[in-house]
């Protein structure tokens, strides 16, 4: 079976993006493109935590609801959430109502704020773990890597929750630390070019 499928324009794309109608735009415009914005990085780590045990489609179709419920994933604001906010979120049918995951987002927001207080951005923290592209496994053949294991350990040591190696690897794929578009996918080259012009504190030189 081919690793690619033809998109609406006839150009090949990763086969997974045909699995649901919401995936094509996400695949073409977000997945694998490098991100340096702390709030976007925090949002993705949070959503990957919510995805644990679920499908990405479940999360993606609720993403706007999550953004509204969590005030745009402004971690400075989330860090001040109280038990009243937890109950508000548990009553919100538009998101995944899981107390442990909700409380993890609040905890992780406080950890992100602590990073900033130490003078380090979340972007600088995570991009230190960008792997050498020459050492990567073939695209979409693994669910963890030495770097995702290392970043997971570093986050956990710093007090973050719901950041296991598989969750972190999915985050790295999505945020462009790993270009996991398959060979032949029209977006793979676009993501590579985006990375070539990308500068981020903590990235490889």
Residues annotated as catalytic (active site), given as ranges: 26, 48, 56
Residue 15 has which token pair? 């086969």
Residue 175's region, left for phi above 0, alpha for psi from -120 to 50, else beta, is alpha
Q: Tell whether 14 is in a known binding site.
A: yes
> What is the reported pLDDT for 66?
98
In the three-class reduction of DSSP (H, G, I as helix; E, B as strand; rest coil), residue 86 is classed as helix
> What is the reported pLDDT for 204?
43
- What backbone phi and psi angles, to 5 degrees, belong to 145? -150, 165
Classify residue 2 by burial, with Cβ atoms within 10 Å: 0-12, 13-18, 19+.
exposed
Classify residue 40 by burial, with Cβ atoms within 10 Å: 0-12, 13-18, 19+.
middle
Inter-CA distances, 76 with 2, 67, 129, Å = 45, 14, 24
Q: Tell whether 98 is in a known binding site.
A: no
Q: Domain 4-197 belongs to what topology?
A: Endonuclease III; domain 1 (1.10.340)
Report whether 78 contacts 106 (CB < 8 A). yes
Average pLDDT of adjacent 10-residue blocks, the chain of 205 residues: 90 96 97 96 97 94 98 98 98 97 98 95 95 92 97 98 97 97 97 89 52
**Paired strand residues for 13:** 5
> What is the reported pLDDT for 202?
58
Residue 114 has which token pair? 């602590």
Q: Tell whether 185 is in a known binding site.
A: yes
In the three-class reduction of DSSP (H, G, I as helix; E, B as strand; rest coil), residue 13 is classed as strand
Q: Tell whether 200 is in a known binding site.
A: no
């Amino acid at each position: 079976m081919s690793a690619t499928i033809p998109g609406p324009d006839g150009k090949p794309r990763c086969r997974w993006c045909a699995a649901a109608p919401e995936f094509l735009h996400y695949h073409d415009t977000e997945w694998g493109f490098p991100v340096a914005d702390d709030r976007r990085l925090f949002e993705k780590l949070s959503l990957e935590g919510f995805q644990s045990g679920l499908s990405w489609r479940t999360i993606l179709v609720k993403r706007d609801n999550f953004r509204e419920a969590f005030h745009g994933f402004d971690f400075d604001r989330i860090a001040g959430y109280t038990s009243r906010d937890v109950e508000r979120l548990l009553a919100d049918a538009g998101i995944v109502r899981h107390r442990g995951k909700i409380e993890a987002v609040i905890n992780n927001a406080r950890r992100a704020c602590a990073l900033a207080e130490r003078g380090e951005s979340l972007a600088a923290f995570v991009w230190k773990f960008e792997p050498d592209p020459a050492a990567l496994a073939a695209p979409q053949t693994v669910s963890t890597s030495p770097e995702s294991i290392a970043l997971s350990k570093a986050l956990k040591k710093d007090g973050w929750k719901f950041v296991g190696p598989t969750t972190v690897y999915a985050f790295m794929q999505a945020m462009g630390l790993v270009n996991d578009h398959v060979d032949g996918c029209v977006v793979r080259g676009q993501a590579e070019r985006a990375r070539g012009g990308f500068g981020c504190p903590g990235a490889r030189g």
